Structure 1
Amino acid sequence: MKFENQKETLTVSCSDLANSSFQCCNLSEIKMNDVNLTGMNISDANLSELVIDGAQWGGAHFLYIGYGNPSQPDLEHNNKPVQFSNCNIHQGIFRDCNLTNVKLENCDISGLVINGVNIENLIKQYVSIEQK
């Protein structure tokens, strides 16, 4: 099946679309439930307001993710913060990322290491100094 240059509402249920390709498509407001996206590759995409709920993501790799097109700063999604809630990032690695003004709220930071510094131990040292 092939759709080209058409604006259609499509409902797909209980289908195997493995190895399908979507090029230059508007998939805004698409809803997916009980889907297998293993090995899915998304590139050059606007993921503003994307919600992923109840998913497994072992081995997921996020590269070159930002806040939109800097040449279009007025876009409403460019300034909205990215949020992670109730996520397991155990043994995850953030490499060469801009974490300016990131907030960790109610997070288990045991073993958290930033540039070789164990943050849990650093906080314990700070608390003991403050208590003196």
Structure 2
Amino acid sequence: MNTQVYLELATDFDAEQIRDLMIIVEKDETSRWYAKGERPYIPGFDSIRMQQYHVRSGGYYKILMKDILVGVILISTTGREHARIDRFYIDPQYQSKQIGSNVLRLMEEQFPQIRIWTLDTTQKSPRNHYFFEKNGYKFMSEDEEERYYYKEIHDSNLENQEDFTFDKVCMHHNFRECNMQDSDFFEVNLSNSSYSNSNMRNLKIQSSNLAGMHITNSYLGHAIFGDSDMSNVEICHVIMGGTYIHDVKLSLDEDNQPIRMERIEMMNSSIQDSNMQNFSIINCNIKGMRIDGILVSDLLEAYKNRGITGENR
């Protein structure tokens, strides 16, 4: 079995096949672990474009056995000592065949520089808990929805490396005119820190608590925000030309708070393949706006000409 399983970077051409696989996986997990209409939280599992988004991350791997797609694994890494397993799914018909354990071994061989692996998995699947613990992952913490694990690859030479700083307290410290290019921060408390007049190009932030973050007067061109909870975020006075927003939930949040958009410049923008049930447009300039190619102004005019009023709609 070891020689039959291998990893291969996914491409855009694989997106549809992976989407089909994820639909099967989601259906299986729903029937196996969930009840009362609940479903596993797998953002964009049935979206081709979401799979293409993961491909662009550069860490989306197909799990193949004899050239057959049997699963996928998404690895997010800074390129230094820490990496995170963001998605790891095996086709139900190929589970319990030691494929998952072989994939974890291949993954560590693929990234020999990584010393700390982290992941989270649903509380509802004791099979997952046993699997990761069997493969050397240690329980770290938990909440109502998830269990968090880590695996540390021991390196006896790590403590002697000059480019590593361990357990150093820098509270209330000021850094001025410092070159910290290509630095890696893992399990670092940066709460209430401030960054100004700094070059943060190609900054990577993952698995971090950014609640209350305040970004102003910053260039965020070509940035990617994905697989993140941005509930109650306020975005104002921001230029977003060329922005691509896809596979995003803009409906009610857990506190039944709707998305509100006010004074938004959306000229020449388009909304496609979206669920806009109960979507409201109020006091907006809709000149030239079209729905399925039909001018909204023409639709409203036809509506008025039928003599339909608000009382007898």
Aligned equivalents of 1:57 and 1:12: distance in 2? 22
Q: Secondary structure at the match of 1:113?
A: coil
Q: Partner of 1:45 in structure 2?
A: 218
Mapping for residues 4-83 of structure 1, pairs under 5 Å: 4-9=176-181, 10-66=183-239, 81-83=242-244
> Runs of 5+ in structure 1 lacking a partner?
68-79
CA RMSD of aligned residues (A): 2.2
- Answer with 1 or 2: which has the greater Rg: 2
| CA-to-aligned-CA distance 1:17-55 (integer Å, 9 cap, x gap) | 101111111111111110110000001000111101100
Aligned equivalents of 1:116 and 1:22: distance in 2? 38
Aligned equivalents of 1:81 and 1:98: distance in 2? 13
More helix by share: 2
Matched pairs, number: 109
Aligned equivalents of 1:56 and 1:13: distance in 2? 20
Cα distance, 1:116 vs. partner?
Answer: 6.5
Identity, % of aligned pairs? 15
The reply on whether 1:101 has 2:268 as its aligned counterpart is yes
The runs of at least 4 aligned residues of structure 1 exceeding 3 Å deviation read none
* Alignment counterpart, residue 84 of structure 1, candidates 219, 228, 245: 245
* TM value normalised by structure 2: 0.33
Paired amino acid for 1:88: K
More strand by share: 2
Cα distance, 1:66 vs. partner?
Answer: 1.2
Aligned equivalents of 1:112 and 1:45: distance in 2? 31
* TM value normalised by structure 1: 0.74
Paired amino acid for 2:260: I
Aligned equivalents of 1:39 and 1:56: distance in 2? 12
